[in-house]
Amino acid sequence: MCGISGLVNCGDRETLVRMTNVQTHRGPDDSGLWERHFPDGGYIGLGSRRLAILDLSADGHMPMSNEDGTVWITYNGEIYNFADLRQELEAKSNAHRFRSHTDTEVVLHLYEEYGPDRFKDCLNRLHGMFALAICDLRGPSPKLFLARDHFGIKPLYYCDRGGKLAFASEVKALLEVPGIEASMNREALDKYLTFLWVPDPLTMFEGILKLPAGHYALWQNGEFRVEQYWDLTFPPANHPFERTEADLADEIRERFCASVEQQMVSDVPIGAFLSAGLDSSSIVAAMARKQPVRTYTITFPEKYRVGETAIDDPGVPRRLARKLGCEHHEIVVEPDVVGLLPRLAWHMDEPTADPAIITAYLVCREARKQATVLLSGVGGDEIFAGYRKHIAHAWAEEYRRAPGFARSAAERALLRLPSLRGTRMKGSVRLAKKMARSAALSPAEAFIRNCTYLDTQQKTGLYAPQSQQPQNHNSAAQHLAAFDKVRHADFLNQMLYLDTKIFMTTLNLTYNDKMSMASSVEVRVPFLDRELAEFVAWNVRPGWKLKGKWRPVTKHIFREAMRSMLPEEVLRQPKAGFAAPVDYWLARDLRPMVDDLLSESQVKRRGLFRPETVRRYVDEHRRGAEDWSMQIWQLLTLEIWMQLFIDGGARAFAQRQIDSAQMAIA
């Protein structure tokens, strides 16, 4: 696992040094640079920070070249089938000679075998996670390929301006390039206010984009183009699913366990997240079939858990770990959230208003004391249908059959409900109110509405009159386009496609990468084995993913698959997110910060929002009249991000991080 960077026709060696240094946390074990100046004045440079996972020797140094130095690679990721690919390449001819035991070198030789014209085929042979750059000096002009893995597990940012290209694993590295300045993208801001985060390929930075998942890019002769090489597909709604449930459950269990076992390959200590949920418990159970497992559970003192359904009961993973013979670490935290937020905003690069980033960071920070690699359950909900919004759709389908007068009365009653903060009904009330507001919409529009936090009317009331709002912009256009792409499929599969392509990639995978890398930890995600995901998409009928109407069971087929390996207590667990006690923090630890950073004078100085609207959100939330916790959190996160990146605080913060990391290495 690494941090990569590169330049084409801009910057110089010193720029590359700064770009790699600012990503030291992604690779504390080694640093490397390669550059080439061309007779026509052109320039290409590659940089790498290495976190050694496979072949810990100096043979894994990057950037890495082929035998004659005509092809170079800088690479971030893990290819789990690299041993099989290497054996296949060695059997073809004597043309492939390996100097290391790394997956990096296998990717390099696989590219040589397929050649630049078959780069898509090369990428589709890779099982794993990756963001990479390959510079091919053969031929009349150099070619530079960028690629991001099928699901977007690893990030890759770039800035393309008039034949000049810069790319990196993190935005903060791009901001070290002369001419690339931090300015806010107003369209991205509007999406952030809608969803709490900015969907790919946009970023909150004007002129900086993310390479989308399942895409590659080619730079040659000053031209840069992006192409898709893979997509998750689904069968038509009338597809005849022929296999039995029991037969499918058995195969899913074996495929899943095979994915877990494949992702346990490591030359450094390995462990796993363990919550009370089905996904992480299944991963640990599969790992325990092969070897004893280090498991990590994060929990908060009881006072934090009052009224929170999103904080798991630590007793469940504790009992499961004991049953499976795990070396269990229960991490009880009372974090200094005021001190943490600026640090995490810097590591995230973009404002991301999901408080789960805090728990993700804390568990990785503590786990790093014993393990460098952790396995995570990210992806299980998107592959097998595990979110409350999937249940909400099933309820909505039944609800729409009720008479119109009854629906109108129910909607009015729901909208009048108090927030019920401080009780376990808080999340259900929030979801019910969203459903009431979206009841008259089409299924696709209702699903998107239930995923939003500020609608168009609310954003209009929030923006300051002088603020430059995006013109003719539909913040949900990307979501609607994704629905349209799979309009032939059953609607549940349409929702899963949307979650996989937008929600999971941009939010869950991004914060898992950034928060783990902040502690120099590699996180692997066995549910996102491409062949497993494709098998489930085409062989499991939707009614076996989400089973039932008024009391639907999420991930039904996967629960059945794991029934022989997990206790009933885990199989019955309700959905609980990897979240944090936002209400508690807003009412206590963060109250002075909210009053300072969201004060009338500060909001007025920014000029983005109406101070009176921001104050109304804060006051209504504190009185318990409305639950504005996530909206306040996103405004607070945004202000911290602006102070770091727009106001220029990030450079000083970066230097402190670099100095601290280098002292730790020394």
Residue 531: CATH number of its domain? 3.40.50.620
Check residue 658 and give its pLDDT.
Answer: 65
What is the rounded distance in angstroms from the CA atom of residue 286 to the CA atom of residue 565?
8
Check residue 378 and give its pLDDT.
Answer: 97
Are 214 and 229 in contact by the 8 Å Cβ rule? The answer is: yes
Statement to judge: residues 514 and 614 lie in one domain: no
Check residue 258 and give its pLDDT.
Answer: 98
pLDDT digits (tens, 9 = 90+) for 117-152: 999 999 999 999 999 999 999 999 999 999 999 999
Mean pLDDT computed over 652-663: 66
Mean pLDDT computed over 196-200: 96
- Predicted confidence (pLDDT) at residue 556 exceeds the cutoff of 90: yes
Statement to judge: residues 148 and 297 lie in one domain: no
Check residue 422 and give its pLDDT.
Answer: 62
What is the rounded distance in angstroms from the CA atom of residue 337 to the CA atom of residue 342?
9
Statement to judge: residues 565 and 509 lie in one domain: yes
What is the rounded distance in angstroms from the CA atom of residue 449 to the CA atom of residue 434?
7
Mapped onto helix, strand or coil, the DSSP state of residue 665 is helix
pLDDT digits (tens, 9 = 90+) for 488-510: 999 999 999 999 999 999 999 99
Mean pLDDT computed over 72-95: 92
Rounded to the nearest integer, the mean pLDDT of the chain is: 91
Mean pLDDT computed over 280-309: 86
Mean pLDDT computed over 51-72: 93
Point out the domain boundary residue: 549, 564, 581: 581
Check residue 303 and give its pLDDT.
Answer: 76
Check residue 24 and give its pLDDT.
Answer: 95
Q: Which two tokens stand for residue 665?
A: 């290495």
- Predicted confidence (pLDDT) at residue 650 exceeds the cutoff of 70: no
Statement to judge: residues 347 and 312 lie in one domain: yes
CA 486, 487, 488, 490 torsion-angle sign? positive
Q: Which two tokens stand for residue 567?
A: 């206790």
H or E stretch including 432?
helix 426-438
Residue 467 lies in a domain: no
Check residue 466 and give its pLDDT.
Answer: 83
Residue 471 lies in a domain: no
* Nearest residue to 266 via CA among 55, 4, 29: 55
Residue 71 lies in a domain: yes
Statement to judge: residues 215 and 330 lie in one domain: no
Identity at 275, one-letter amino acid code: S
Statement to judge: residues 286 and 170 lie in one domain: no
pLDDT digits (tens, 9 = 90+) for 149-177: 999 999 999 999 988 999 999 999 999 99
- Paired with 148 in beta bridges are 131
Are 274 and 284 in contact by the 8 Å Cβ rule? The answer is: yes
What is the DSSP code (8-state) at residue 590? Answer: T
Q: The domain containing residue 305 runs over which residues? A: 246-385+498-581
Check residue 299 and give its pLDDT.
Answer: 87
Are 609 and 469 in contact by the 8 Å Cβ rule? The answer is: no
Statement to judge: residues 68 and 209 lie in one domain: yes
Residue 557 has phi, psi (to 5 degrees) of -65, -35
Check residue 441 and give its pLDDT.
Answer: 81
CATH code of the domain in which 41 resides:
3.60.20.10
Q: How long, in residues, is the chain?
A: 666
Is pLDDT larger for residue 196 or for residue 409? 196
pLDDT bracket for residue 348 (50, 70, 90): very high
Mapped onto helix, strand or coil, the DSSP state of residue 297 is strand
Residue 359 lies in a domain: yes
Statement to judge: residues 130 and 268 lie in one domain: no
Statement to judge: residues 149 and 215 lie in one domain: yes
Residue 290 lies in a domain: yes
Statement to judge: residues 177 and 72 lie in one domain: yes
- Bridge-based pairing of strands 270-273 and 294-299 is parallel
Check residue 301 and give its pLDDT.
Answer: 83
Check residue 419 and give its pLDDT.
Answer: 67
Check residue 307 and give its pLDDT.
Answer: 55
- Predicted confidence (pLDDT) at residue 343 exceeds the cutoff of 70: yes
pLDDT digits (tens, 9 = 90+) for 389-403: 898 888 877 777 777
Point out the domain boundary residue: 581, 599, 615: 581
Mapped onto helix, strand or coil, the DSSP state of residue 75 is strand
Point out the domain boundary residue: 581, 600, 627: 581
pLDDT digits (tens, 9 = 90+) for 416-473: 777 666 666 666 677 676 676 777 788 999 999 889 999 999 999 999 998 767 777 8
Statement to judge: residues 537 and 621 lie in one domain: no
Residue 546 lies in a domain: yes
Check residue 626 and give its pLDDT.
Answer: 87
Mean pLDDT computed over 578-606: 92
Is pLDDT larger for residue 662 or for residue 260? 260
Residue 596 lies in a domain: yes
What is the DSSP code (8-state) at residue 8? Answer: E
**Total structural domains in the chain?**
3
Check residue 4 and give its pLDDT.
Answer: 98
Statement to judge: residues 130 and 273 lie in one domain: no
- Which region among 15-29, 93-107, 416-430, 558-572 has the lowest average model confidence (pLDDT)? 416-430
Residue 235 lies in a domain: no
CA dihedral 506, 509, 515, 516 (to 10 degrees): -160
Check residue 634 and give its pLDDT.
Answer: 97
Check residue 55 and give its pLDDT.
Answer: 86
